[in-house]
Structure 1
Amino acid sequence: MPFPFPDVSNAPIADLVSLRGRRAVVTGGAQGLGKAIAARLAEAGADLLLVDLDEEHARTAAEELATRHGVKGLGTRADVSDTAAVAAAADLAVAELGGIDIWVNNAGLFPNAPALDMTDAMWDQVFAVNSRGVFLGSREAARRMSADGKGGVIVNTVSTAGFQVAFPGMAAYVASKHAARGLTKSLAVDLAPLGIRVLGVAPSYVPTEGNIAATREAAEAAAAAGTEIPPVDVMHQSLIGRLGTPDDIARVVLFAASDLALIMTGSTLLADAGETL
């Protein structure tokens, strides 16, 4: 996709939403939100590489989605904060899928600790995954997207924590997600001349394996510190009458990754059921 971006005004809806022939990488793709995102991308026709710390689950999820949707599906292990590992995953996508058209930076950490109790190691780990990981994934994807001259789309999972603080003890997480949101804007400026769009998607809380465990840990940490966090159904005030689901978020990512959103870059789309109003 050479710069400037094409005008697709006359394309039918089916073509605009289709990802047939495109190659997508999803980090944190073995389960939860990442797997839901991968499922919608595969349904739209994209071949997949799922990247996760859990290689076995990444491969199993990729094989399942490939069989269900008739696309190629691969899984591999990578720590998104490790430059060499991210570069190797990007090279694998090029070698096995033929290139990269879509890269979703979804892997993330959600620890909770009062600011006075937060260790340097916890702070550094959160930023290593939630911010550095977004940068490394975006850089390695963009290098390969630009190398074949076709451009592409990078989508970052930002979180409503990139806009607000829901409860105490979130200093590292909130700061890292504000960084990811700012990085989305800056990368959009740098990469537009290469035909690469960069968008963020900011979900509110959705019940995934990781989020459920993180919420439980946050409640335990708050109780140990003599404070309290509100329960999920109170903490997240939904205007649609329910909590979001992983697929609610996955559909927004699909929109961002498809040509339906071709006019958009640098924005972070709030997928929060009105929580941040």
Structure 2
Amino acid sequence: MTATYPFPDLSTSPLPDLLSLRGRRAIVTGGAQGLGRAIAQRFAEAGAEVVIGDVNASLAATAAAEITELYGVQTTAVAMDVTDEESVASATTAAEQKLGGSIGIWVNNAGIFPSIPVSEMTTAEWDHVFAVNTRGTFLGAREAARRMTSGGVLINIASTAGFRGTAPGLAAYVSSKHAARGLTKQLALELAPRGIRVLGVAPTFVPTEGNRAAAARPSPDGIDPVDVMRPGLLGRHATPDDIARVVLFCATGLSAVMTGSTLLADAGLTI
């Protein structure tokens, strides 16, 4: 008997269908502001029902209400601590109950990036970065894999720091994002037989609320953050929506033949 391949050929699908997320449900972690909010907004515009999972429940609720009003599709918020497996599981259950169905798109976006020189970094500080950026990605991916019984798409937000070293003080961040890239490859290998595609997106510096705050803090070793966070070859900093559109591509049928890759959304910085 011929096995059924879990990923259909979409060659005859019209472009509007390939771009649409109508009828699908998505979770975006760390979605209350910055990149996460931009991703949630584009997903809603494409027709998806969206859950914003964030440790800041109040900010997430505000973002969800504004996106619902803007696009007229159900957008809801759940309190989620991505470092806590019980929080991730219970928040996902609550999300599916609110939306009335299972999640088909999961974006692991939550992340932190403290700047601490290696010689001054405590073990607790190192562990906390990995708890959010790596353990959080694993916990989200595991929860998504358990819920996506009919296939789906899992997208991990990495960083150009997952491809190279960056600035002094970011050893934990760079290491955690390299780990997220490796996890993306392994997840793609393991989950393909179940009809789940896994992709990463690696943004360059984007002046979000969190990044602007980080840039304003004194930099270790006298490194000027303006030099480190410079625009790429395209002559400007990326916007949150620049990255959100790449994530939208990953979630739609336009990328149906892709899995395991981490797409550089870097304005040419890593050339």
Does the alignment reach a TM-score above 0.5? yes
Percent identical residues: 61
Distance in 2 between residues matched to 1:73 and 1:235, nearest whole Å? 33
TM-score, normalization: structure 1?
A: 0.94
Confirm or deny: 8 A CA contact 2:166 2:174 kept in the other structure: no
Q: TM-score, normalised by structure 2?
A: 0.96
C-alpha offsets along residues 30-88 of structure 1, whole Å, 9 cap, x if unaligned? Answer: 01110001000000000011011110110111111112111111111111010000001
8 A Cα contact 2:154 2:199, kept in partner: yes
Deviation (angstroms), 1:236: 2.8
Cα shift at 1:234: 5.7
Residues 15-34 of structure 1: CA distance to partner in whole angstroms, max 9, x if unpaired? 00100000000000001110
Find the partner of 2:28 among 20, 26, 29.
26
Letter in 2 for 1:236: R
Contact 2:158/2:177 (<8 A) preserved: yes
Q: What is the aligned partner in structure 2 of residue 110 from structure 1?
A: 113
Equivalent-residue separation in structure 2 for 1:266 and 1:109 (angstroms): 23
Instruction: Give the CA deviation at 1:93.
Output: 2.3
Does structure 1 retain, via aligned residues, the 8 Å contact 2:215–2:225? no
CA distance in 2, matches of 1:211, 1:196: 31
Instruction: Give unmatched runs, 5+ long, in structure 1.
Output: none
Runs of 5+ consecutive residues of structure 2 not aligned to the other structure: none
1:242 aligns with 2:236: yes
Aligned equivalent of 1:269: 263
1:138 alignment counterpart: 141
What's the C-alpha RMSD, in Å, of the aligned pairs?
1.2
2:120 partner SS: coil
Specify which of 243, 249, 259 is matched with residue 255 of structure 1: 249
Regions of 4+ moved over 4 Å: none
Contact 2:78–2:95 (8 Å) recurs in 1:
no
SS in 2 for 1:38: helix
The equivalent of 1:123 in structure 2 is: 126
After TM superposition, give the deviation of residue 231 of structure 1 in Å.
Answer: 3.5
1:2-151 to structure 2, matched below 5 A, reads 3-97=5-99, 98-146=101-149, 150-151=150-151
Compute the displacement of 1:221 (Å): 4.3
What are the within-5 Å matches in structure 2 for residues 117-196 of structure 1? 117-146=120-149, 150-196=150-196
Q: Determine helix, strand or coil for the equivalent of 2:106.
A: strand
